């Protein structure tokens, strides 16, 4: 069966999450009481580590890691931390230079291009605009707009319906083992893991393909396509 569409996650998949965290880390000392002697570089290093290892469990775990590792003189409340993240991510997103050319390559190859991302409308669309890739997508679904989020299979079904395709004609690319890979697989999609964090949940079966850089995605799609061809 021929593949017809490639659907993407956004965070950690189509923009440089670590680069963005390093930029936003420079604002910590203006928003929070940072412990004397803690540098922007140290904040960024700890934040990137915590984001890689705990963000799938929730931002509270990331904040706890920063607190336990001595970033703050006085730790902020979770609500204050969450507001800080939302406010600064709405203003800062560091793009992968290869993301837009990769998406255009897939479109030239005849694939429909979609996006399914968890989050609120303003924040996620703001990121798309900052990195300049919004217009390339045929369909975009933000969980906050449809009141269902990954890994619920319903959000993947909504994309199938929007594109009038069967799930087995679609590939989903994302970094989160549970939300992206397990969720898309459960909905009937083929899957590609964007290994941007190196963190995998051992309880979840591997994706069909794995890549480390966005420019590797068309080749991974091609490998899945070949396996789908009648023998």
Domain end (from 26, 55, 89): 89
Is the model's pLDDT at 231 over the cut of 70?
no
- Give the structural domain span for 55: 17-89
Is the model's pLDDT at 172 over the cut of 80?
yes
Domain end (from 89, 124, 143): 89
> What is the average per-residue pLDDT within 138-152?
96
**Looking at residue 199, what is its pLDDT?**
72
Give the CA count within 13 Å in the CB-facing half-sphere of 40. Answer: 11
**Looking at residue 228, what is its pLDDT?**
85
Do residue 76 and residue 154 come from a single domain? no
Do residue 136 and residue 200 come from a single domain? yes
Do residue 26 and residue 104 come from a single domain? no
Do residue 74 and residue 182 come from a single domain? no
Q: What is the pLDDT of residues 48-89, one digit of tens each?
A: 999 888 877 788 999 999 999 999 999 999 999 999 998 888
Token duo for residue 4: 């017809």
Cα(26)–Cα(65) distance, integer angstroms:
18
User: Among all chains, which residue has been given the structure tokens 């299979």?
Assistant: 153
Cα(162)–Cα(40) distance, integer angstroms:
44
pLDDT-derived band at 152, boundaries 50, 70, 90: very high
Do residue 114 and residue 221 come from a single domain? yes
Cα(132)–Cα(142) distance, integer angstroms:
17
DSSP letter string, 32-51? SEEPTT--HHHHHHHHHHHH
**Looking at residue 69, what is its pLDDT?**
97
Q: Indicate the SS3 state at residue 153.
A: helix
User: Among all chains, which residue has been given the structure tokens 């990121």?
Assistant: 127
Cα(71)–Cα(45) distance, integer angstroms:
11
Q: What is the pLDDT of residues 176-217, one digit of tens each?
A: 899 999 999 999 999 999 998 777 777 889 999 999 999 999
Return the bridge partners of 116, or none. Answer: 141
**Bigger pLDDT: 52 vs 7:** 7
Instruction: Give me the number of domains the chain comprises.
Output: 2
Do residue 162 and residue 224 come from a single domain? yes
Do residue 26 and residue 83 come from a single domain? yes
């Amino acid at each position: 069966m021929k593949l017809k569409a490639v659907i993407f996650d956004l965070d950690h998949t189509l923009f440089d999450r670590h680069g963005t965290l390093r930029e936003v880390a420079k604002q910590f000392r203006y928003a929070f009481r940072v412990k004397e002697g803690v540098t922007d570089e140290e904040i960024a290093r700890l934040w990137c580590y915590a984001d890689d290892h705990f963000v799938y469990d929730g931002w509270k775990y990331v904040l706890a890691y920063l607190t336990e590792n001595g970033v703050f003189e006085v730790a902020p409340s979770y609500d204050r931390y969450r507001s800080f993240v939302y406010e600064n991510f709405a203003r800062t997103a560091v793009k992968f230079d290869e993301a837009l050319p990769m998406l255009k390559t897939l479109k030239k190859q005849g694939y429909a291009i979609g996006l399914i991302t968890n989050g609120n409308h303003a924040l996620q669309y703001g990121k798309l605009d900052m990195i300049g890739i919004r217009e390339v997508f045929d369909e975009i679904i933000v969980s906050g707009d449809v009141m269902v989020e990954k890994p619920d299979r319903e959000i993947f079904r909504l994309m199938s319906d929007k594109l009038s395709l069967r799930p087995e004609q679609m590939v989903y690319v994302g970094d989160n083992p549970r939300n992206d890979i397990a969720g898309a697989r459960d909905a009937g999609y083929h899957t590609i893991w964007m290994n941007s964090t190196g963190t995998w949940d051992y309880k979840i079966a591997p994706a069909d393909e794995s890549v480390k850089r966005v420019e590797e995605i068309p080749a991974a799609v091609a490998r899945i396509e070949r396996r789908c061809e009648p023998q």
